Structure 1
Amino acid sequence: MYAFVALLWKSSCSHAEKTAEALISRCREASPEAPSLRQEGLFVIDLGSNAPHSFIPLAFEERQLSGAVFGTLFRKDSDFIPQYPITALDAKDRHAIEASEGANLAADFWGSYILFYTNPDFSVVVTDPTSAIPCFYLHYCGVTVVLSHLEKCPFTDLLELTLNLEFASSLIAYDKIQNGQTGFREIRELPGGNKLTIRDDEVFTELLWDPRRIAETPMTLNDQDTAEYLRKATHFVVKSWSNVFDRVDVHLSGGLDSTIVLGCLTGDASALQLRAIHNIAGQEELSELPFAREAADFYCVPLTEHMLEPAVLLPRPQSHPKSVRPYRQFLTPDLRNPASYSDATPHAVFTGQGGDHLFLASRSILGFADFVRNFRGGGGLLQTLLDTASLSDRSVWEVLWGTLRELPGPRAPQGILKGIERSRTPVSDLAHDRLQLTGCVPDWAEFPDGLPPGKFDQVSRLLHLYMVRETLDRPVLRNMVHPLISQPLIELCLRIPVWQLCLHGINRGLAREAFRAEIPDTIRNRLTKGETTRFFMEQIRLNRQFLADTLSEGALAAHGLIDPETVRSWIMDEAVDQHPQGRRLLVYYTIECWMRRWTRL
């Protein structure tokens, strides 16, 4: 897992230099064995566990410039030839970084990285477009502190942090909100694909990677050629990531996306030690197991099966890490039960996360609206209409009527904003009533800016991928890698039209066609998906009284963010069991646990 603390300061300022020295001493005393890099006006320490290739220094000979890339960096390749991680940058690359102030990284490279760059006039921090490594910043006595995980920072006692109750309230409405705010007024988040510039007393951010600009230039290849591009790009990112590690476990759900990832890892002769892991989320999810076994047998990969029963006891309210904001990963079974991975602990665990968003597991009619918007004559109109009706399980007339309503432009919140409105529950009514939708998410997730409705829906939901990142330190699973959530594959899928991604009126239809020869047909043709809703609802049932007591008598209620009587009545009369958003009760519990770590309740 990548975790860091970085300090940037003006070395000509004696006060800032003194502060930096004191903070550096704190870091080294707390983690004396941790790798670190010290340059003029810059200090970075690696507080992660077992993460490879953590520093790429930027050496500028005989110049007052300092810099480093933290994380894993690959070079882009138009032919999709798998890459090895970069361990050093040549003079040409360094000068390009200097000339562009880091803006060239998204154009020429990809990976999971943070760039730090400083000179006598200003300092710069750049995040990779996928936001794979969390990045937060604050200012302390002339020093800009940049960090990935607040709970790992060795000097939080000095920072005098103030809880941001308005942000906590917004998370009750929708816990995936990302607008630069955090759980503390003093700390800001630098989202993916952004640049932070610190110049004297001025601090400003700039968007370097806008997915709308990628998506506005669609590919126009035939289905066969587009499928081949998709296949090559997927192999490219998965195999490049596999070049970082010697031992890899694959979370094999039995579904399409994780099977594709496993297949990409087994295609070539390799020294990679590979194992598949299948987690069974309660007895009702045993139906997924035959598909996982079939995939493992198909690729001749050993499979380890873990039964995850709903927890009789949830994590205790005071046990959430002292992070910068609450994270739902706090409740994930593998975070609470690391012993299940004690045998042959891998260097990394790969998942199929991201496939639903990028390959497009959708039943929307918006693909036909996009086709009509881009129609310039020729064939395909009637077939796309029929395919969309099949995909959405609606009549042709319903698709036509819905398309006519969409063509003039959005009339109501679209994409992820629509999801925020749909997440309302009786417990979150207060938070939803206070929430201002405008500004909840980055501009590119809020405003189409010319994109057709189907493609904008896909773009806006990229924000979900950012919350998949490794936000909490896992005791054993040190490197959780989601290879599909990689910039080259994201950019390709943004350029493929929505109706083509859902080829033949089938969700993820193009991906199914692309991997026709590489995965078992039973999995490729399978349209059902495993889901964990029943697992979490059973967890709620087992902890009903505890949840009612904890939430109605807790920090959220004490600060007026939820109504205690509403919480108790909603839980205890079992209305939560039938509510379409009932599982969000566990999200509220996560926020409560986080609040209790930072308050004296």
Structure 2
Amino acid sequence: MVLPDCEAASAVFAKVRDRACQVLAHASGRPWLAGCWQKEEAHLAVVGEVRLAMLGTCGLDRDALLRRARAVGSLSEVEEVGRGVAGSFHLLASVSGQVYARGTAVGDRRLHHTRVGGVTVLADRARTLAWLIQARVDMAQAAVRMSSLGSPPHPFDQASMFLGVHVLAPGRALELGRNGYAGERRWWRAPTAELPPAEGASGLRTALREAVRARVRPGQVWAADLSGGMDSTSLCFLASEAGAELVALTLDWGNPEGEDPAYARKAVADLPSGTVHLLFPSARLPPYLTGLGDGGEPDDEPSLKQRDLAQQEHLSHTHRSRGARRRLCGHGGDHVVLPPTSHLHDLVRHQPRLASRYLAGYAAKYRWPRARTLRVLADRRPYGTWLAAQAETLLGGTGTAPSAPPAWDPPVGMPFWATARAREMYANLLREAAHTLPLAATRGRHGWIHQARQAGRVALIYDQYGMGLEMPFCDDAVLHACLRVRAHEAATPWTYKPLLAAAMRGIVPAPLLNRTTKGDATREWHTGLKVQQRCLAAWLEDSRLVAAGLAEPRALRHAWLSPATLRAADGPAVEFTLAVESWLRGIERHPVPAHLREHPREPSSAR
């Protein structure tokens, strides 16, 4: 928790004093920062009345942080401390009692805020603040997540699940004054897309290299996912370059057409001879959705974590037994390196002849219907108007299938088991959001930033669960490097991840950069649902979503117990709805978050 420098905040702190391992003070002696963190995650400095904390992965050493702290004379200068620093961290400061706090632009480090006892306080977990003010769940947000948990449109992807608790949007900071003032400030802006591909690739190579070196030290044992795909393979070679002793982990989905094991073996053959390679056949791992009914600790919002949580725990146990405390993961590569096809909307207006070639290529690749594609590309509605129009589409049916490049974000829809009440709740939110500004002026840039933030949401959940996963593709510097390249040069219908391939040329062997396929776990997903039939049948008897009027019981029964009979387009919503139901049950069972258990405080100092 982050607290302002005033007596009212001291009263709030009294409620959490016995639940924090470490406490740092303002220059006044009042509590400023309270919580529990690993010593290696805390980068702290005190210079006069300036207190700085960079919590997370940080490429700045102690002496460099002290030098930057000495240059801070006001809140407006705090952001310079984090400028150009590799890694992923919260940046927190107390300057003469004035507070500055922010997470990351990608959103893998998040902050929430609420008013309590007459003051604004912040926390990295929404459930901390929800417990503090005894907040109720916002069921309208549950309806949103039931529809589009994987990627709700902006701004709903950054909305809190608790009434009275607010998410500090990625890219924004919150300032707290001693007089109770609280104001937001934008600290991050997307860079201009101006670099030619070669220069952009060089920048991405530098950003990824520094992201890995901010984590890896020579001689350390590190685990690393190795699917054989471009993202995880790149991280393995960069970690090896940084001097890590690698334990590479590969999942074999058992698909006869799957190429993951073969490409992973090719990569290992080119990595240092001491690299340990462990292959895990999916049939020998816990099935998808294992532990669904065990009532585990819920996150700040519903997530798809339960899908492979047992598998991830098995992998974590294995790599720790091999001496690796943490593990590199390629998650985020698809989101950050590859812009969405909505950039075609921009390309049509600036380079129509080139856009025509791209459009033909993508239409053939994804089988886009010509008429619908042309309608999307001709659409000039501003973002807020588009959101409001989605409300009417939502009330009129199940929404529009994403069979063309997205207009702004993917089209909004509801599964057939959603009730009229659920549709109306979501539609009302869409109408209220009609004033919302997009994340960038153009559709392609907006979509690129939006999908990067979805990667950040996933990285955040696994980090808070303590899986020991490190996801360098989710670092702000990596996103910044990608956004400096024009979207149509970062992705084409004829090549796969050309920007990353160019960045890794000379580091990753060329044959490994030519792969264009991805592994598929569809069969494991269906198997997991089948294994959980008894649990799902029991949940249907007292479904929280049905009780809230958000799901129609007979239709929900059909979706959960007969998923093989559904359209492929309904598959994701089955899992989204299941995640929301599980989360609601978890919140009931765990009104006090596990991270707020009482425990002795450890001495902590920023000196």
Per the TM superposition, whether the score is higher than 0.5 is: yes
Q: 1:10 aligns with which of 2, 5, 8?
A: 5
Task: Say whether 1:125 aligns with 2:125.
Answer: no
Q: Which residue of 1 aligns with 2:40?
A: 52
SS in 2 for 1:277: strand
Q: CA deviation at 1:384?
A: 6.7
Q: Do the aligned partners of residues 285 and 188 (structure 1) sit closer, same or farther apart at CA in structure 2, a change above 3 Å counting?
A: farther
SS in 2 for 1:68: strand
Letter in 1 for 2:416: P
Q: Which residue of 2 aligns with 1:250?
A: 224
In 1, Cα distance between equivalents of 2:57 and 2:297? 25
SS in 2 for 1:130: coil
Letter in 1 for 2:299: S
SS in 1 for 2:228: coil
Q: Do the aligned partners of residues 318 and 195 (structure 1) sit closer, same or farther apart at CA in structure 2, a change above 3 Å counting?
A: same
Q: Which residue of 2 aligns with 1:288?
A: 260
Q: Which residue of 2 aligns with 1:209?
A: 188
- Cα-to-partner distance string for 1:97-116 (whole Å, 9 max, x where unaligned): 72416343564434322233
Letter in 1 for 2:137: L
Task: Say whether 1:27 aligns with 2:14.
Answer: no
Q: Do the aligned partners of residues 472 and 266 (structure 1) sit closer, same or farther apart at CA in structure 2, a change above 3 Å counting?
A: closer
User: Gaps (5+ residues) in structure 1?
Assistant: 1-5, 29-33, 75-83, 376-380
Q: Do the aligned partners of residues 67 and 369 (structure 1) sit closer, same or farther apart at CA in structure 2, a change above 3 Å counting?
A: closer
In 2, Cα distance between equivalents of 1:462 and 1:360? 10
Q: CA deviation at 1:530?
A: 1.2
In 2, Cα distance between equivalents of 1:312 and 1:485? 25
Report the RMSD for the aligned CA atoms in angstroms: 3.8
Q: Which residue of 2 aligns with 1:187?
A: 165
Higher normalized helix content (fraction of residues): 2
Tell me, yes or no, if the aligned pair for 2:111 and 2:122 is still in contact at 8 Å: yes
Q: Which residue of 2 aligns with 1:434?
A: 425
Tell me, yes or no, if the aligned pair for 1:56 and 1:88 is still in contact at 8 Å: no
Output aligned runs, 1:183-582, within 5 Å: 183-199=161-177, 200-211=179-190, 214=191, 217-221=192-196, 223-243=197-217, 246-267=220-241, 270=243, 272-281=244-253, 287-300=259-272, 301-309=275-283, 311=287, 314-317=290-293, 319-332=295-308, 333-337=310-314, 338-360=316-338, 364=341, 367=343, 369-375=345-351, 385-386=356-357, 389-393=360-364, 406=377, 409-410=380-381, 412=386, 418-419=409-410, 421=412, 424-428=414-418, 430=420, 431-435=422-426, 436-437=429-430, 446=438, 448-449=440-441, 451=442, 453-472=443-462, 477-478=467-468, 480-502=469-491, 505-551=494-540, 553-574=542-563, 577-582=566-571
Letter in 2 for 1:9: P
In the superposition, the TM-score normalised over structure 1's length comes to: 0.80
Tell me, yes or no, if the aligned pair for 1:9 and 1:142 is still in contact at 8 Å: no
Q: Do the aligned partners of residues 93 and 476 (structure 1) sit closer, same or farther apart at CA in structure 2, a change above 3 Å counting?
A: closer
Q: Which residue of 2 aligns with 1:95?
A: 71
- Cα-to-partner distance string for 1:208-257 (whole Å, 9 max, x where unaligned): 2133xx2xx22243x44443333333323233332499331111111111
In 2, Cα distance between equivalents of 1:558 and 1:260? 47
SS in 2 for 1:421: coil
Letter in 1 for 2:19: C
Tell me, yes or no, if the aligned pair for 2:409 and 2:447 is still in contact at 8 Å: no
Q: CA deviation at 1:350?
A: 0.8
Tell me, yes or no, if the aligned pair for 2:222 and 2:247 is still in contact at 8 Å: yes
Task: Say whether 1:38 aligns with 2:30.
Answer: no
Letter in 2 for 1:137: H
Q: CA deviation at 1:186?
A: 3.1
Letter in 2 for 1:218: A
Q: Which residue of 1 aligns with 2:396?
A: none
Tell me, yes or no, if the aligned pair for 2:148 and 2:573 is still in contact at 8 Å: no
SS in 2 for 1:484: helix
User: Gaps (5+ residues) in structure 2?
Assistant: 388-404, 591-607
In the superposition, the TM-score normalised over structure 2's length comes to: 0.79
Flag the structure with more relative contact order, 1 or 2, with Cα contacts below 8 A and sequence separation at least 6. Answer: 2
- Cα-to-partner distance string for 1:13-52 (whole Å, 9 max, x where unaligned): 2x5434424532x125xxxxx454333333434524x562
Q: Do the aligned partners of residues 287 and 552 (structure 1) sit closer, same or farther apart at CA in structure 2, a change above 3 Å counting?
A: farther
Q: CA deviation at 1:534?
A: 2.8
Q: Do the aligned partners of residues 458 and 116 (structure 1) sit closer, same or farther apart at CA in structure 2, a change above 3 Å counting?
A: closer
Q: Do the aligned partners of residues 123 and 574 (structure 1) sit closer, same or farther apart at CA in structure 2, a change above 3 Å counting?
A: closer
Letter in 2 for 1:321: E
Q: How many equivalent pairs are there?
A: 554
- Which has the higher mean CA deviation after the structures are superposed, 287-296 or 352-361? 352-361
Q: Which residue of 2 aligns with 1:70?
A: 55
Q: CA deviation at 1:407?
A: 6.1
SS in 2 for 1:250: strand
- Cα-to-partner distance string for 1:313-339 (whole Å, 9 max, x where unaligned): 732445231433222223323345354
Q: CA deviation at 1:389?
A: 3.1
- Cα-to-partner distance string for 1:283-318 (whole Å, 9 max, x where unaligned): 568532111111112213221122334628732445
Tell me, yes or no, if the aligned pair for 1:68 and 1:117 is still in contact at 8 Å: yes
Q: CA deviation at 1:586?
A: 2.6
SS in 2 for 1:581: helix
Letter in 2 for 1:254: G
